[in-house]
Structure 1
């Protein structure tokens, strides 16, 4: 008889397989309703989902835990840019809108806010306009909110459609809103545009953003509101213990929450796409009397990536955005070091301008022109010997337009406004240049003002007053590793967090991170290796990176010092922390994370055209009941009653970036039985937690004749029935698993074992077998677990 092999290939195939068996899929895996008890399965219903915001803008929403928290990742469009986002949250739900988009916000959670209901006789008209910091008319996003009852909430984008009627709608492109008389918060995010762009344009690049308005004002009759960004003061940070600067994309977020007197609350967050000044501004506000007000600004400061000093005067250079000239940060030239260089005026950097110029080791200063792209100007000067190129604007203000993309730069290339460019060209003698490509420290600061907004918004932080976290980024033993990173902060009311994936330059290394102690701000992290691509200008082979996410949220309640390692060997597979192996009725959910490091950071691996291949198989009493070589998760139907279940996951990673864990195989076996309706049981799988004293290159130094040792802790999945571990055997190989030798394992208290390896050098592979007294077993093989050096 032909027997069809059951497969677990994503949700669609899972639904089909279970429907064919006469059963419905579990809600924990597919989002559909299931058999009795299936809706009690824990964990997010799916992995990530891509949501369109209109005009080609998209974001990815990724569940981060079992309590509904999600990460919002703005996705790059075809030109390499990401949308700026306005995130609006209230007691109805959460919406997203691109800062330069049009149309209504996109609902991503809950229900849309309702329109104010009132008779025309009860309404007053509010007419809205905005002024930028340079005095021009500006665009703004305005929220009007009733701070007594929270019943009225209206969002307006100004300047709006001049033909739109004044209405009570909850959202409209209009400079007018109708509301009942009352006490309101009337606040706006005002964009100041670059000098060469129209003041009211809605574009991805802005000069700066200001939060202005009145968080509590009585509205008795129709009136005008003007949101004047010139009244706002800069939010600034000083760090006396280190030289710092808000480098590119370091002005991350500005926003506020407003709680009405009856407890209803709105939250508004602005995440810019590209901001030339890297600075936020806020207007002062008196203490509120109804409810509560809190503002939040997030700034990311590092060692200045580039500095130019002319005769003691510090200029304000910035790199052009790397997205126009490269796909990864290692292909983007940056200046590293400290020197004094000559300055040469090269006009527009045409062949005629460069003829006869001695540029060797000099700073070439060019004026921007519409006739040449920045890359053409810079590369021409580089060919002539320039060590650094500065392009200054040919008109008022700043200008980051590259005037063309798709060409790699040969030397570091900076921009200046016209006035500072002329000052640089006029410099006598040499100019001091200082650059730092890999800052040894980071200040990731969430700054809050509560109850009011003071006139002075300069914050001074000494290191001793901040929480310090030493980030330990581990890489490959002999291959240079590249990384990207993101940090996500959550406030108590947040179910969504937005961050930016930043390049982590300098390879495997330590970095000290400083944060403001605050029990209400919780953090989690993600690290990717190799580095993520931020554009697709140049062809490159497909890659499946290892994305390691922190499974926990941590709040830093006081100053102090902690460590946060990631990428620590060995990396192997384990059941998902967020979606444990659980059974309800005769259906068992399985979700395996193929990348799990020794510190519990986790990520998914699956078969792709990168060369990465995986296979998840589930057997009951020796019979295959499900398998997939795609995302390793799904629901398997087990036979009724008692059975012995085996879950195996095999991964092969031949990608050039992966020197370690090139082949891993994990097999969990355990007894399982039908679970009564309405109940969920976590299966008794054994987990191995390795503790190896590796360096940042995941190497262990063997000292003399002493054997290399490590610890391993064996335990069952949280919530599962736990029987004592009765057996552990470990073997080691120094030839990628062709031959094996026994290691010595000694049991210790608390489920810990100490293992001593047989003598050898190079990449060491492990083969582990563990068993408990109830018959659960774990067999785990890791080829090239770490590197032993002598």
Structure 2
């Protein structure tokens, strides 16, 4: 496989890069109409983001960096996430500073001066910033309080400002989003974006449990000469922060859109000082080690947590509060918490996350996080965390701690608007007016968390939060949605997972949906992970591109594998032969790009993949997958006529089928590539193994066409492996083997 082809295969599933600000960005697959997914580096204080495409590259600019860009203090290439992905995650941009965003030589220029004011009428201070978008060319510029004037060519522009607001008794953090939907720049102009023209963005529901979650307000600006809009959004967490939005009165634009997108759930972590009833915004620093459940704990103050700080403090059974000085390295934090654990401490609260060198063995972005702290450890934020520490230092203090691995309920709500920002942005929803879904999240005892998100189709752009929230498996819960078109998304420990598009109606009767049901195996049905209907094996610029989802679920949703070179989990190969000769190989299972200058011939495509049980104890099934396809191609641009076999055994939430039963019916579906010629099936045979493929015996298959029924005898307990051999009337074949396809017991 060529270098270009290898890059194409990796980009197909979305690279993840970390900005210098610490925010993580997952790029959409190349050429697909999806925006980057953004995981902010912190929960508090909220940060806004602007995302846009320039010269074919995605840029993501956090609000706390926009003013630095406006002043020229930092290089814009540090936020070119496409370029960073090509260089490698976290690579520094070297060389001389790049051009100023949107800088061009123009024969005619005018001054655009933007003044920003907060809700008290005061001039906005950093990190306030304004994003200026040329509605014709898509050029993007940034303005900060210290650099309020841009020199721009005549055109039509849209301006969106994000303004931090002072804290209040009801909101530790607050932000305003103020927009001028359209401005014609044909002379020097001065613009005032005044947050006093905004109103509160607030969504509530008639479920007292759902007080936490996320809410964002976003402007979406369409560009005449580009298919990609420019999006600026700011987020808030309902319990501790407030969000305001508004646009300049009387100004509208056909190119301007706005939306509010919110998810409401139970708080995952609640920390409250019982006297005087002070709530602290906090997050767990290490997910594998939480103190779940409801607890009432004594609280003690232990300074910086050094041995001399602990000498006169009784930490046994207590929540221990630490104030860490300056840039304490994470490895030192590990040592101090280990000392508290040795002294019998129950949990630790850091009054702020350490800002020193990152953890060496327990990097915060590790997907496995296999070196957690010695005790459940939280980081608190803002002045509430400092007041909590002051109260603990004054002593004595008792705190209530409630921690949940996931919420028992979820509300996904979306409110799009066009031309300007509505004046009334407060909505009180009732469950009976929403669409309800009973969601089942399947998995074994060690599966743990899934992560879910949803995108709302606003008729031209997707409204999404950009980050996801956890749900335990196995579990079942009610989920509520605004009526409309949604794309639901669920993943496990990876950055990508399965998607399903669904149309929901207001007051719709409760509808079931199940995730992660077996059998996980190769699949050609459903939409791709990138949201398109392009076939998994297809032609592109002289290449035969292969992106076969090897772990599509039993309901036909595509799910990609995680090769070792990408996420360090799956191990395997992909090989392509023509007329018996090897023409290309890839060490990425099910992924590759192969140069095929002459299409006509008889092809053989083989894929092998192994998911080592010692690395993935939460994944007990589909541990080895292989497929061997033969197919004939001519010069037609049609997709190759590949076949795949999908099984859907009846299982419980734990993904275990009843054991000790004879003649169990298993639905079998033969899937075909979209856009490929479909030929009548002439042979469908399945073998079954109960000893992980050491021995095989024929299974009974009945029915006709692409849908058949497999009949098996289940042992009392163990695993069922399946091997299928399919042939169609044109001679296309597949032999597909799945070891430990599903569990019985």
Structure 2 spans left out of the alignment, 5+ residues: 66-73, 83-100, 360-371
| CA 1:273–1:51: 2 relative to 1, 3 Å | farther
Inter-partner Cα distance in structure 2 for 1:371 and 1:682:
56
| CA 1:255–1:718: 2 relative to 1, 3 Å | same
Correspondence for 1:468: 436
CA contact (8 A) 2:283 2:379 kept: yes
Within 5 Å, which residues of 2 pair with 1:318-329?
A: 318-320=281-283, 322=285, 326=286, 329=287
Within 5 Å, which residues of 2 pair with 1:292-307?
A: 293-307=256-270
Inter-partner Cα distance in structure 1 for 2:227 and 2:574:
47
Inter-partner Cα distance in structure 2 for 1:564 and 1:47:
25
Correspondence for 1:686: 643
Structure 2 residue 395 is the aligned partner of structure 1 residue 435: no
TM-score between both structures, scaled by the size of structure 1? 0.71
Correspondence for 1:457: 425
Cα displacement string for residues 668-708 of structure 1 (whole angstroms, at most 9, x for unaligned residues)? 223x2422xxx412222222222211223321013x64433
Inter-partner Cα distance in structure 2 for 1:145 and 1:585:
33
| CA 1:363–1:659: 2 relative to 1, 3 Å | closer
Out of 685, 706, 720, the position equivalent to 1:764 is 720
Out of 143, 155, 174, the position equivalent to 1:157 is 143
Out of 146, 171, 191, the position equivalent to 2:164 is 191
CA contact (8 A) 1:686 1:716 kept: yes
Cα displacement string for residues 42-86 of structure 1 (whole angstroms, at most 9, x for unaligned residues)? xx995545789788988442328xx73235245899xxx999741
Correspondence for 1:142: 130
Structure 2 residue 113 is the aligned partner of structure 1 residue 126: yes
Following TM superposition, by how much is the alpha carbon of 1:465 offset from its aligned partner in structure 2, in angstroms?
2.4
Following TM superposition, by how much is the alpha carbon of 1:712 offset from its aligned partner in structure 2, in angstroms?
0.5
Higher alpha-carbon deviation: 713-722 or 347-356: 347-356
CA contact (8 A) 1:85 1:273 kept: no
Correspondence for 1:734: 690
CA contact (8 A) 1:660 1:783 kept: yes
Correspondence for 1:413: 378
Correspondence for 1:753: 708
Out of 256, 261, 270, the position equivalent to 2:219 is 256
Higher alpha-carbon deviation: 412-421 or 582-591: 582-591
| CA 1:313–1:236: 2 relative to 1, 3 Å | farther
| CA 1:181–1:91: 2 relative to 1, 3 Å | same
Correspondence for 1:633: 592
Higher alpha-carbon deviation: 728-737 or 421-430: 421-430
Correspondence for 2:88: none
Structure 1 spans left out of the alignment, 5+ residues: 1-7, 15-28, 31-43, 161-173, 196-205, 393-398, 533-546
Higher alpha-carbon deviation: 679-688 or 267-276: 267-276
Inter-partner Cα distance in structure 2 for 1:371 and 1:91:
38
Out of 54, 70, 74, the position equivalent to 2:34 is 70
| CA 1:233–1:369: 2 relative to 1, 3 Å | farther
Correspondence for 1:652: 610
Cα displacement string for residues 440-497 of structure 1 (whole angstroms, at most 9, x for unaligned residues)? 2223333445455455533222222223344433334x64445445545554444897
Correspondence for 2:559: 602
Structure number with larger C-alpha Rg = 1
Inter-partner Cα distance in structure 1 for 2:155 and 2:580:
71
RMSD: 4.9
TM-score between both structures, scaled by the size of structure 2? 0.75
What is the SS of the residue equivalent to 1:189?
Answer: strand
Q: Report how many aligned residue pairs link the two structures.
A: 680
What is the SS of the residue equivalent to 2:548?
Answer: strand
Within 5 Å, which residues of 2 pair with 1:383-398?
A: 383-390=342-349
Correspondence for 2:207: 241
| CA 1:118–1:264: 2 relative to 1, 3 Å | farther
Out of 514, 524, 527, the position equivalent to 1:565 is 514
Structure 2 residue 631 is the aligned partner of structure 1 residue 664: no
Following TM superposition, by how much is the alpha carbon of 1:752 offset from its aligned partner in structure 2, in angstroms?
1.5
Inter-partner Cα distance in structure 1 for 2:503 and 2:59:
26
CA contact (8 A) 2:326 2:354 kept: no
Structure 2 residue 148 is the aligned partner of structure 1 residue 175: yes
CA contact (8 A) 1:254 1:297 kept: yes
What is the SS of the residue equivalent to 1:593?
Answer: coil
What is the SS of the residue equivalent to 1:139?
Answer: coil
